[in-house]
Amino acid sequence: MALTPTERKQLRKDCTLVVSGFAPMSAGDDFRQLAQWCEAQGVEHDIYGDGPLVEGFEHKVAALLGQAAAVFMPSGIMAQLAALRIWAEAAGLPRFGMHPTSHLALHEEEAYTALMQLHGVPVGDRLRPLVADDLAACRQPLACLLVELPIREAGGQLPSWEELQALKAAAQARGLPLHMDGARLWECGPFYGRPYAEIAAGFDSVYVSLYKGIGGLAGAVLAGSEDFVAQSRRWRRRMGGTLVHLSPMVASAAMRLDERLALMPALAACAGTLAAGLEGFSSLRVNPRHPPTNMFHLHIDAPADAALALRDLVAAETGCWLFERARPSEVPGWSVSELTIGDRLLATGPARAIAAFAQLDGALRA
């Protein structure tokens, strides 16, 4: 019999290894660490975004991305809506291109239409990253093309460096601005082996998250030219994002940024080792087979409810929580879950997790 939500929550809490994600901090511990960092750095509150902390952090991220300027945004949704509206106004065309599995298409309640009166055109194949041929096949005039690095809904896939450069060249030849959905751009550095500024070169605007990989409380940064960022600040105020104090969110990202960026190569390597260790299990499939970042999708030969029940059984027997949610996959009878490797698995190494996955594989085959 399946566990109740309360029972599952307790079982997960009792596990001594949670494979996916970073170790959470309690609100009290998080706030104490933030207060200590602010005191050590002599941080003072900003006033509506004006002040050394916020302005200095914006300059730092802009430099990391090789952009002229940057602005902090309370959320990635706000950042990307602002970017799309700016490019649409510049082109005089309320239409933009995006990957079929873009966050805007799947997780934002059609905000680009409801709030910005924009039309999103799917470009490319939902099972792989955008490439130059996809842009060539799109005959509709576009104000800009949104490119997600990596493609989360396809398991964190990335285009090769050559494919990425070809896409940039194709957009430039067409006179089409490129906007990067870089919610997980920080995780891409090890795969490309190049500075973030070089990865972002050729993009006319870049959004990066400050909580997904960095571990900040919330927020994002939107970067681009001086004029683009000035317009973004105006849109931030219009959408209610210029709060009286942005410092809590900015400080929580600023104190972790360098440390988390330094971890990315090790996290990607750990994900690769885990993925390789799952190759021999007939009831499990990893996508992509060789993860370019610290995330991948795990496909499981069982319906979602059965997969979750067997995960619970393995957790009770091994103390290892293998994955979080599961949903039906495109293959009937299979399900899929997302794994993101953080400091927890990095600290223990993947051997114990692989052994627990072996137990899951045996249960699935039985």
Question: Three-state secondary structure along the chain?
Answer: CCCCHHHHHHHHHHCCEECEECCCCCHHHHHHHHHHHHHHHCCCCCECCECHHHHHHHHHHHHHHCCCEEEEECCHHHHHHHHHHHHHHHHCCCEEEECCCCHHHHCCCCHHHHCCCCEEEECCCCCCCCCHHHHHHCCCCCCCEEEECCEHHHCCECCCHHHHHHHHHHHHHHCCCEEEEECCHHHHHHHHCCCHHHHHCCCCEEEEECCCCCCCCCCEEEEECHHHHHHHHHHHHHCCCCCCCCHHHHHHHHCCHHHHHHHHHHHHHHHHHHHHHCCCCCCEEEECCCCCCCEEEEEECCCHHHHHHHHHHHHHHHCEECCCCCEECCCCCCEEEEEEECHHHHHHCCHHHHHHHHHHHHHHHC
Same domain, 195 and 93: yes
- Does 293 lie in the same domain as 215? no
Instruction: For 19, list phi and psi in degrees, rounded to 5.
Output: -70, -45
Question: By percentage, how much of the chain surpasses pLDDT 90?
Answer: 99
Q: What percent of the chain has pLDDT over 70?
A: 100
My answer on whether 71 and 208 are in the same domain is: yes
- The verdict on residue 130 lying in a domain is yes
Is residue 308 in some structural domain?
yes
Residue 280 domain flag: yes
Mean pLDDT of 90-102: 98
Same domain? For 61 and 165 the reply is: yes
CA distance 343 to 270: 10
**Mean pLDDT for the stretch of residues 263-290:** 97
Mean pLDDT of 160-178: 98
User: The tokens of 30 are what?
Assistant: 């998080």
> Is residue 139 domain-resident?
yes
User: What CA–CA distance (Å, rounded) separates 59 from 45?
Assistant: 17
Choose one of 188, 223, 255: the last residue of a domain.
Answer: 255
Residue pair 361/351 in contact by the 8 Å Cβ criterion: no
Question: Is the bond preceding 288 in cis, omega lying within 30 degrees of 0?
Answer: yes
Rounded Cα gap, residues 67 and 203, in angstroms? 9
86/177 same-domain check: yes
**pTM across the whole model:** 0.96
pLDDT in tens, 39-62: 999 999 999 999 999 999 999 999
- Structure tokens belonging to residue 80: 């990307």
pLDDT digits (tens, 9 = 90+) for 99-112: 999 999 999 999 99
Q: Within this chain, do residues 216 and 322 fall inside the same structural domain, yes or no?
A: no
User: What does the pLDDT read at residue 2?
Assistant: 81
Residues paired with 119 in a beta bridge? 95
40 by Cβ neighbours in 10 Å (0-12 / 13-18 / 19+) ranks as exposed
244 with 300, same domain: the answer is no
Instruction: Look at residue 1 in the predicted model and tell me its pLDDT.
Output: 65
Q: Is 31 inside any structural domain? A: no
Asked if the structure places residue 36 within a domain, the reply is no
Distance of alpha carbon 227 from alpha carbon 247, whole angstroms = 24
Q: Are residues 215 and 341 in the same domain?
A: no
Q: Are residues 172 and 280 in the same domain?
A: no
Q: Which of 236, 255, 274 is the last residue of a domain?
A: 255
As a whole number, the mean pLDDT across the chain is: 97
The sheet carrying 205-209 orders its strands as 69-73, 220-224, 205-209, 178-182, 145-148, 95-98, 119-122
How many domains does one find in the chain? 2
CA dist 311 and 307 (Å) reads 6
Please, which residues have CB within 8 angstroms of residue 83's CB and are 6 or more apart in sequence? 144, 179, 205, 207, 222, 224, 228, 232
Is residue 176 a contact partner of residue 144, using CB atoms and an 8 Å limit? yes
Alpha-carbon distance values, 231 to 69, 90, 238 (Å): 11, 11, 11
Q: What is the CATH number of the domain that holds 295?
A: 3.90.1150.10
Domain end (from 196, 221, 255): 255
pLDDT in the model for residue 59 = 98
State the pLDDT at residue 16. Answer: 97
Question: Is residue 193 located within the same domain as residue 220?
Answer: yes
- Alpha-carbon distance of 333 to 7, in angstroms, equals 26
Residues 67 and 93 in one domain: yes
More confident residue, 341 or 366: 341
> Same domain, yes or no, for 77 and 217?
yes
Query: What is the span of the domain harbouring residue 291?
Result: 5-25+259-365
Could you report the per-residue pLDDT of 112-149, keeping only the tens digit for each?
999 999 999 999 999 999 999 999 999 999 999 999 99
pLDDT the model gives residue 303: 97
Could you tell me if residue 101 is inside a domain? Answer: yes
Q: Is residue 30 a part of any domain in this protein?
A: no
Exposed/middle/buried for residue 23 (C-beta within 10 Å: 0-12, 13-18, 19+): exposed
The mean pLDDT value for 146-153 works out to: 97
Instruction: Return the CATH number at 129.
Output: 3.40.640.10
